[in-house]
Amino acid sequence: MGALSFVIVGHVDHGKSTLIGRLLYDTNSLPADKIAEIKKASDDLGRGTEFAYLLDHLEEERKQGITIDTTQVFFKSKVRDYVIIDAPGHVEFVKNMITGASQAEAAVLIVDAEEGVKEQTKRHSYMLAMLGLKQVVVAINKMDLMDYSQEHYEKIKSDVAEWLASIGVEPVVYLPMSAKDGENIASRSDKMAWADCPTFLESLDSLKNISLANEKSLIFPIQDVYKIDDKRINAGRVEAGVMKKGDKIKILPDGQVTTIRSIEKFLEETDEACSSECVGMTTEDSVFLDRGNVVCIAGNEPVLTDTISANIFWMSKKGVKVGDKMTLRCATQGQPCKIESISKRINSSTLEVIALDSDSIENLEVAEVVIKTKKPIAIKDFNEVQELGRFVLVRDDNTCAGGIVTSI
């Protein structure tokens, strides 16, 4: 079973980093010197052992008690490898949260049992829905503060479920836990014997690897091209399907057709590469690929289009107007673009419709838009191939929006 990447999101201080730290600790995934470092950092600040320091590694973050950047942690259970993405919960760092979620196959929505559903709980869960993440685990944390009360848990669970139902999110599981005390993280909790649910670790192991969709048709965006001796090695990540030596391939957007001469892996000889693998590839003919090209199987390629309908989340303090020029980046593709129309503007926390047929979008608003690119790009339904169904909008070298393609 291949590695699964998941993002942990939720309101600030609901326990995301503590959950990850405790999970690593409880599964013996930490070296002794790292545990000693955590304890020393906690002692220096006059606190009990804070597992969040594993992730909140910057001194400023430790003082403020908030996660600023998006951090990846590599972890292994008895079932498979994981890439854990810790995304910030503070409203000012929504951009980093979008970056993390866009790389994930699944999500954990963490909710403080004492505070319940808060503004960032709503905003982050709405972003998960907008980004097309279907596998969501809801972890109701800090049950120790509520004396592990089943009655209180059921109330919070009901509140969360009501909200998620309103945005079309159906979690795969709800579970109560205390990340700080390690209750229901890697082993069953005696204090919550009433809980008819898996542990947090078991819930992760039950998730499916979306990226390992080898039965799908090949999608191989080119990241870079290297000239080594007489070889031109086209490097990238197989986003879907299987790439084999001898395959007849088509190169988008130009439409050149050629045959794969070799598959190149570091210190390994092979004739094929599967979904999620980062490899190099050479061709039989002297075709010149470049970053942004998408390799696919001839006759089963993604749609090429210069007009898409999309849901976007605007995360720049400077708003955008219809006709403003930006760059759309999808996988390794990049094209100048503009927003042709804005059919709806929505408050990302309350889902209140702010305006219909608008001419602008402001910070932290969600919008339904039509985007026009200068030249056609390769697009897929995000539920089929995530990498070709999600995109970001860039202005002045800053990412200002993330979105998903809703129709072509």
Q: Are residues 168 and 235 in the same domain?
A: no
Q: pLDDT for 271-321, tens place per residue?
A: 999 887 889 999 998 888 999 999 999 888 899 999 999 989 898 899 999
Kind of pairing between the strands at 294-297 and 219-228? antiparallel
Same domain, 277 and 321: no
In this structure, what CATH number is given to the domain that contains residue 225?
2.40.30.10
Question: Looking at 205, 227, 242, which one is the last position of a domain?
Answer: 205
Residues 16 and 39 in one domain: yes
Q: What is the pLDDT averaged over residues 397-408?
A: 85
Same domain, 152 and 271: no
Q: Which two tokens stand for residue 260?
A: 């794969």
- Structural domain total, the chain: 3
Structure confidence at residue 13 as a pLDDT band (50, 70, 90): confident
Average pLDDT for 225-254: 91
Give yes or no: residues 86 and 201 share one domain. Answer: yes
Q: Which residues contact 404 (CB under 8 A, 6 or more apart)?
A: 130, 131, 132, 310, 311, 382, 389, 390, 391
Q: pLDDT at position 223, please?
A: 93
Q: Are residues 163 and 282 in the same domain?
A: no
Q: What is the pLDDT of residues 64-93, one digit of tens each?
A: 444 334 456 667 788 888 877 755 444 444
Residue range of the domain that includes 98 = 4-205
> Does the pTM exceed 0.85?
no
Whether residue 161 lies inside any domain: the answer is yes
- For residues 9 and 119, membership in a common domain is answered with yes
Distance CA 185, CA 179 (A): 7
Which residues, in sequence order, are CB contacts of 401 under 8 Å at separation 6+? 312, 313, 314, 315, 316, 320, 392, 393
- The residues that bridge with 326 in the sheet, in sequence order, are 337
179 is a domain residue: yes
**Quick one: pLDDT band at residue 245, thresholds 50, 70, 90?**
very high
Q: What's residue 91's pLDDT?
A: 46
- Smallest Cα–Cα separation from 234: which of 275, 276, 189, 286? 286
Average pLDDT over residues 127-142: 86
Mean pLDDT to the nearest integer, 196-211 = 87
Average pLDDT of 7-34? 75
Angle between helices 119-130 and 150-166 (to 10 degrees): 50
Q: What is the pLDDT of residue 29?
A: 64
Would you call 248 helix, strand, or coil by DSSP? strand
Is the domain of 224 the same as that of 150? no
CA 245 – CA 243 distance, rounded (Å) = 7
Q: Compare 216 and 47 and report the one with higher pLDDT.
A: 216
Give which of 84, 11, 2 is closest to 349, Cα–Cα: 11
- Please write down the long-range contacts of 363-367, taking CB distance under 8 Å and 24 or more positions apart: 363/314, 363/315, 363/316, 363/317, 363/318, 363/319, 364/91, 364/94, 364/123, 364/313, 364/314, 364/315, 365/313, 365/314, 366/126, 366/130, 366/311, 366/312, 366/313, 366/314, 367/311, 367/312, 367/314, 367/342
Tokens of residue 161, six digits: 């479920």
For residue 53, what pLDDT band results from cuts at 50, 70 and 90?
low
Q: Tell whether 138 and 253 lie within a shared domain.
A: no
Same domain, 194 and 61: yes
Which tens digits make up the pLDDT trace of 163-172? 999 988 999 9
| Contact present, 284 and 262 (Cβ < 8 Å) | no
Q: Which two tokens stand for residue 169?
A: 């999110």
Mean pLDDT of the chain: 83
